[in-house]
Structure 1
Amino acid sequence: MEEVKFELNRGQDKCYHPNPEDSGLLDIARTLRDIPPAHYILKVDSFSFLVQLLEKAGRKRYESDVFEASGHKWKLCLYPNGDQERGGKGHISLYLTITNTEALPLGWEVNVSFKFLVFDQTRDKYLTIRDINEKPRRYHAMKTEWGFSKLLPLPGFNDPTNGYLVGDKCVFGAEVFVIKYSGAGELLPQPKYLAGQVHTWNISNFSRLTSSVPASSFTLGDCKWRLELYPKGYPVDEHNDLAIGIRLADTTSTVRATYKLTIKNQAHGEDATVTALVSCFSGTSSFWWLWRNPQNLGPATDLSKGFLVRDTLVVKFEITHIFAVKRFA
């Protein structure tokens, strides 16, 4: 759905679908859309009768029935002749009030992002009015009502060519979204430098290996790890080269780490090394490839060039920095 954005000119009585360049009530954003209100609709079949009824009763506003949205109970408060005490003279004023607050815990607070809608009966669209950038409003015991004292100027609202009041009928609506804090988060602490902590894996009878080989778990940086070697390459790969991966054995932890893998050249001293940037090991998605396509990574492609001695391959895994992510409630 494409939304047409515009703002209402201050003091302009006739233009209710102005151009986007128009300046105006800078804290209010207005858009047009096709979709009706998601949470509540207030239909008035005789707006003039409602005005007369309120005047006879000495009241300034009409309060809707209570409705439920986003886990709380609300009502709409409509001022047909404007809320003059809050600067709404000559306008339609509309507010969203939280109700049933006695059922809420002591010190309650509800953060809400809401929208008001007015049906344009001529264009079959809804004018949506909201705080610019959808700024959330904080409801609490001392502030149970938020809204707009200048929702729409009365001259334009009463003009049937604008579509809001046609045949004395009008429709208002509301959408209410409570911003709930889940109570969960994570702390990424200062990285821990692991100086000289290296795990060496001597893989014997290398030429006889045909399938994957997992190493025994080992501990580096207070975490348990396990290397996995595929002597003929990973099965789904087109090439048949050596592949090595690392897995976090404790899948309940979340760890970010920088590390280095070295395949030792036992004959000539020219080791093949791969250094990885920060990788995240979390839950079941705790496997990362260290070495998978050797023809692009160095001299270890040909294991006969000093890497394989007495049919033994020597792999060293070193973690340089580790971030043990801590979760909190």
Structure 2
Amino acid sequence: MAGADSLQTGWEVFVDFRLFLRDQNKGIYLVLQDANLNKMCLHGAMFEVGFDRVIPLNAFTDSSNGYLINDTCVFGAEVFVCKERRAGKAERLCAINSAMYKHPWKVYIPLKFRPEFLESKPFFAGGQTWKIRLYPKGYDKGKDTHVSLYLTLANPEPASKILTEFTLRIVDQLNGKHFFCKGCQWFSALTPSFGFSRLIAFDILKQLDKGFLVQSYCLVEAEVTVHGIFTAL
């Protein structure tokens, strides 16, 4: 894509293209195309697209194949512009080497009058602010049968997506046999919360010998590692 500096901020050009290499002996073309590459979107973070393994070098330089004759070769391009300059869709990935952060949360769960949900205080991990949300009555598929546990991005930015690996755990405070689940998700303003609707059955949670609920207190842990951030250009 040439002359991109003259285009408006957030430009995009959708193209359907083929590249050609001419066999000068036979007057025919080697057609370079790929179903996964032909219809591409060029934007501020990607000015070019193509093929890194067109033809073996020994085949290209062998004059009997007709591609290189008298130090001259012939290339061609066929380009169809499908759509131009749709702003605000290009994205940039910033990889983050963040350490895993573990956040413990001791939460009081009354047995008789369980609230719809409980939230931890905000905590900081991987440059982002998070909360743990616990549903004592269950949520979604775990409604009325399980305790549900979710990780929530507290202050999502509209144009960003956060690639996050996380573990949510309910700690067995007596026997060391914890209930936990792991996930790796893109958190964003549209989907700020991910978790597990059936983390532990409420019937198991309230059995005192199991150690998950001690004097009506439950110990929850979240392990959070941010791997990258997508932002709109």
With structure 1 as the length reference, what TM-score do the two structures score? 0.42
Q: Does 1:284 pair with 2:190? A: yes
CA contact under 8 A between 1:229 and 1:244: conserved in structure 2? yes
Q: Does 1:254 pair with 2:161? A: yes
SS of equivalent to 1:179: strand
Q: Alpha-carbon deviation of 1:133?
A: 8.8
Q: Does 1:179 pair with 2:86? A: no
Instruction: Quote the Cα distance in structure 2 between the aligned partners of 1:235 and 1:179.
Output: 40
**What is the 5 A alignment of 1:234-249?**
234=139, 237=142, 239-249=144-154
Counterparts in 2 of 1:177 and 1:240: CA distance versus 1, 3 Å: same
Instruction: Quote the Cα distance in structure 1 between the aligned partners of 2:15 and 2:136.
Output: 58
CA contact under 8 A between 1:260 and 1:320: conserved in structure 2? no
Instruction: Quote the Cα distance in structure 1 between the aligned partners of 2:15 and 2:146.
Output: 57
**What is the 5 A alignment of 1:304-323?**
304=208, 305-323=210-228
Q: 2:177 corresponds to which residue?
A: 270
Instruction: Quote the Cα distance in structure 2 between the aligned partners of 1:223 and 1:187.
Output: 18
2:108 to 204, 213, 229: 204
Instruction: Quote the Cα distance in structure 2 between the aligned partners of 1:275 and 1:111.
Output: 38
Q: Alpha-carbon deviation of 1:291?
A: 4.5
Q: 1:294 corresponds to which residue?
A: 200
Q: Alpha-carbon deviation of 1:111?
A: 8.1
Instruction: Quote the Cα distance in structure 2 between the aligned partners of 1:301 and 1:287.
Output: 23
Q: Alpha-carbon deviation of 1:254?
A: 1.6
SS of equivalent to 2:95: coil
Query: Which has the higher Rg, Structure 1 or Structure 2?
Result: 1
Q: Alpha-carbon deviation of 1:233?
A: 1.0
Q: 2:69 corresponds to which residue?
A: none
Q: Alpha-carbon deviation of 1:327?
A: 2.6
1:227 to 132, 135, 148: 132
Aligned length: 162
Q: Alpha-carbon deviation of 1:319?
A: 0.9
Counterparts in 2 of 1:316 and 1:303: CA distance versus 1, 3 Å: farther
With structure 2 as the length reference, what TM-score do the two structures score? 0.57
SS of equivalent to 1:308: coil
Q: Alpha-carbon deviation of 1:320?
A: 3.1
Segments of structure 2 that go 5 or more residues without pairing to the other structure are 8-12, 18-32, 40-79
Instruction: Quote the Cα distance in structure 1 between the aligned partners of 2:143 and 2:114.
Output: 19
RMSD: 3.5
CA contact under 8 A between 1:194 and 1:322: conserved in structure 2? no
**What is the 5 A alignment of 1:34-53?**
none
Counterparts in 2 of 1:226 and 1:181: CA distance versus 1, 3 Å: same
Counterparts in 2 of 1:256 and 1:312: CA distance versus 1, 3 Å: same
Instruction: Quote the Cα distance in structure 2 between the aligned partners of 1:321 and 1:107.
Output: 36
CA contact under 8 A between 1:265 and 1:272: conserved in structure 2? yes
SS of equivalent to 1:294: strand
Segments of structure 1 that go 5 or more residues without pairing to the other structure are 1-105, 115-131, 137-175
SS of equivalent to 1:202: strand
Give the residue type in structure 2 aligned to 1:213: L
Superposed CA offset, 1:52-78 (max 9, x none): xxxxxxxxxxxxxxxxxxxxxxxxxxx
Instruction: Quote the Cα distance in structure 1 between the aligned partners of 2:14 and 2:103.
Output: 51
Higher relative contact order (Cα pairs below 8 Å, separated by 6+ residues): 2
Q: 2:58 corresponds to which residue?
A: none
Q: Alpha-carbon deviation of 1:279?
A: 0.5
CA contact under 8 A between 2:122 and 2:131: conserved in structure 1? yes
Give the residue type in structure 2 aligned to 1:214: E
CA contact under 8 A between 1:263 and 1:300: conserved in structure 2? no
Superposed CA offset, 1:134-185 (max 9, x none): 979xxxxxxxxxxxxxxxxxxxxxxxxxxxxxxxxxxxxxxx8553244542
